[in-house]
Amino acid sequence: MIVVTGGAGFIGSAVVAALNAAGESDIAIVDNLLESTKWKNLVGLKYRDYIHKSQFLERLASPELSKVRAIVHMGACSSTTETDGDYLMANNYAYTRMIAEHALENGIRFIYASSAATYGGIEKGFDDDDATSLTLKPINRYGYSKQFFDEVAISKGWQKAMVGLKFFNVYGPNEYHKQDMSSVVYKAFHQISENGFLKLFKSHRAEFTDGEQKRDFVYIRDCVAVILQLIKNPQVNGIFNLGSGSARSWNDLAGAVFTALGRERNIEYIDMPQHLMGSYQYFTQANMQKLNASGLKVQSTSLEEGVRDYVQNYLMPGELRLQDRK
């Protein structure tokens, strides 16, 4: 059996869909649905069991989970603007640590989601070697909750027997439920479709003109392809960046969405909210050397191709999920 925590969420449901496509259905999904619309991501997926997040730690030692061979831990609070630090540390650190300890004690493959938010205000390097990872200074509570588990894993040597993935800006199908935390591709599609124009934040730093702030945008299919390979290759361990390896501007992303929609570019630059100014990253770019050297086949879909596929094959038909498209 393979356990996918956050299995109804964006990356988690995409992992389950890919496992299904590979013929794997002996899967347990762990999540907390509450009032979220992410339950729709479960429709069409093939899995054996659904376990509420609050019951998972207790059931880990139960007979029905005695033959788990891998835990893909994508469940966490992923809001970079969350202000409840205790909630973040309980969700993203303590909960992850308990699952990791069980996996290590029982020889279970453990793959967990870290984040590029751990890099904080860094605007060059983005190196995922252990020495650098121990010195990072995140600039928001979310990033710190992810960083602290990475630090513990490295200090205890756990990273030599499991995998942490520092996801950069992931976009693609199955993210519709994320609301404010959905990708700018998703938001741009709806803004442009409804209003004919797109709003982007102005730059408040002289070295970046409006819309030229840059991010490493990575398509969900590329992330999932890496995760499936990691499940099959337990000899590959460590904390890795997972991005495209190429920084692109918000203007580039906007242009790709307008092109995919067959519309002329029409961008309005607006002031950045005051509460974001101290925690806004102006540049991110994954150094992919470590993952590329791991022996895995790491694909990198171009921003233009990824946006075209997402917009034309999933959003325009009515927000199809990965498992809906044949």
The one catalytic residue among 53, 178, 202, 290? 178
Q: How many CA atoms lie within 13 A of 262 on its CB side?
A: 2
Residue 157 lies in a domain: yes
Alpha carbons 258 and 307: distance in angstroms, whole number: 10
Whether 29 and 55 have beta carbons less than 8 Å apart is answered as: no
Residue 202 lies in a domain: no
Residue 266 lies in a domain: no
Whether 74 and 4 have beta carbons less than 8 Å apart is answered as: yes
Instruction: Say whether 156 is catalytic.
Output: no
Residue 126 lies in a domain: yes
Q: Are strands 109-115 and 214-219 parallel, antiparallel or unpaired?
A: unpaired
Alpha carbons 94 and 128: distance in angstroms, whole number: 22
Q: What pLDDT score was predicted for residue 78? A: 82
Count of structural domains, the chain: 1
Residue 9 lies in a domain: yes
For 306-323, the pLDDT digits (tens) are 999 999 999 999 999 999
Instruction: Say whether 176 is catalytic.
Output: no
The model's pTM is 0.95
Residue 222 lies in a domain: yes
The one catalytic residue among 142, 144, 171, 280? 142
Residue 179 lies in a domain: no
CATH code assigned at 37: 3.40.50.720
Q: Which domain holds residue 128?
A: 2-172+217-245+285-301
For 90-108, the pLDDT digits (tens) are 999 999 999 999 999 999 9
Give the tokens for residue 83: 């202000």
Q: Nearest to residue 92, comparing CAs of 109, 114, 72?
A: 114
Residue 184 lies in a domain: no
Which residues sit opposite 112 in a β-bridge? 73, 164
Per DSSP, the three-state class of 5 is strand
Q: Residue 274 above 90 pLDDT? A: no
| % the chain with pLDDT above 90 | 88
Q: Residue 73 above 90 pLDDT? A: yes
